[in-house]
A and B are shown apart, each in its own frame.
Chain A
Amino acid sequence: MSYLEIAFSIIGYLTFLLLVLAAIFSYNLFRFNKKEVSWLSIYLAMISLLIFQFFIFEETYKHDFFGIEKKPLYYVLFLVSSFMLAWGFWSMNKSFEKFEVFGEVARRKVKNFLDGLNKEEKPLKTEKSKLRK
């Protein structure tokens, strides 16, 4: 195996790994809103890309579809797009988790506030004399 072939293999595996991560993150995104079935399409697209990477890409490599001079560009572009997909979905996951955590905190605070409010019933304003101060 030449150095170029080894480099292509490493990039290929890395791309595959990034696509797997992107597929996991895209499925997590769907779990945040299961009512929206169309969100599942992103996950299905990622699975299709994985199949593409796993079979077609390897075939391309074997049969030298694009010619040796175009191959590095092809590999690198695919790696970069996989990286961007994984990074983008990861970031979206983080945002959604943050909103979920924020929602939890908000719910807890509202509940505590209402519990406290039910214990003591006070007027909105105190006496007028105090207000004048």
Chain B
Amino acid sequence: MANTILYLINPENYLSGLLKIVSSLKGDVIIYVTANRSYYYLNDFFKSRGFNISKFFFIDCTGTTKEEEQEAPNCIFVNSPQNLTEISIAINELAEGVKGEKILLLDSLSTLLLYNDADVIGKFSHFFINKLHLSGISTIILALESDIDKDIIRRLESMSDEVNRA
């Protein structure tokens, strides 16, 4: 069954928290939406920690990758974290195209909030959580623990099946 899990990560141990979460993922395909660090950084980071990333498909919306470097076969590049339409298109393509057990990891809601209005992100999260749930995709949303008092995190807690800390 497709679940939605919200992880609140301590900003001081962000990468170790991220590693713990990623190492616990069991799926045929992991869709990794990153607004936090670029595809190239994460690619090297996971490889250096011994992860086999052949099952990872990235959506890099950091907007920091140069155009000539955007030919990575397992990554779709979105030009800005503000471009929620392109992020939705990319998620949609993956939701419809990929068969088997899929997990989507959004890294992170806190970064998207830096670039977008909280209300817009609230609607966007609501849309994609429901869309992914209907497509049978489990969703993991990362957010900073320090954002816990924000209204949107509370709203997201109500949409999630589980809320964990890492």
CB distance from A110 to the nearest CB of B (A): 4
Q: How many pairs, one residue from A and one from B, have CB atoms within 8 Å of each other in the complex?
A: 68
Within 8 A of B (CB), among A114-133: 114, 116-117, 120, 122-127, 130-131, 133
B76 touches A105 (CB 8 A): yes
Of the candidate stretches B88-96, B121-129, B139-147, the one touching chain A is: B88-96
Give the size range of B's interface with the partner. 20 to 34
B74 within 8 A of A: yes
Given A102-B86, A105-B76, A106-B76, A130:B50 Cβ within 8 A = yes
A103 within 8 A of B: yes
B164 within 8 A of A: no
A125 touches B54 (CB 8 A): no
How many angstroms from the CA of A85 to the CA of B30 in the assembled complex?
A: 44
B55 within 8 A of A: yes
B26 touches A110 (CB 8 A): no
CB distance from B70 to the nearest CB of A (A): 9
- Choice from A112, A124, A127 contacting B30 with Cβ under 8 Å: A124
Q: Which residues of A contact B85 (CB under 8 A)?
A: 99
B94 touches A124 (CB 8 A): no
Q: Which residues of A contact B86 (CB under 8 A)?
A: 99, 102
A107 touches B97 (CB 8 A): yes
Q: Which residues of B contact A107 (CB under 8 A)?
A: 93, 97
CB distance from A111 to the nearest CB of B (A): 7
Which residue on chain A has the smallest CB distance to residue B85?
A: A99
Q: Which residues of B contact A55 (CB under 8 A)?
A: none
- Choice from B23, B89, B90, B97 contacting A131 with Cβ under 8 Å: B23
B51 touches A125 (CB 8 A): yes
A109 within 8 A of B: yes
CB distance from A130 to the nearest CB of B (A): 3
B98 within 8 A of A: yes
B50 touches A125 (CB 8 A): yes
CB distance from A29 to the nearest CB of B (A): 15
Given A103-B93, A112-B73, A124:B50 Cβ within 8 A = no
Q: Name the residue among B51, B54, B73 with the largest chain A CB count within 10 angstroms.
A: B54
Additional pairs, 4, CB under 8 Å, beyond known A107-B93, A110-B57? A120-B54, A124-B27, A127-B50, A130-B50
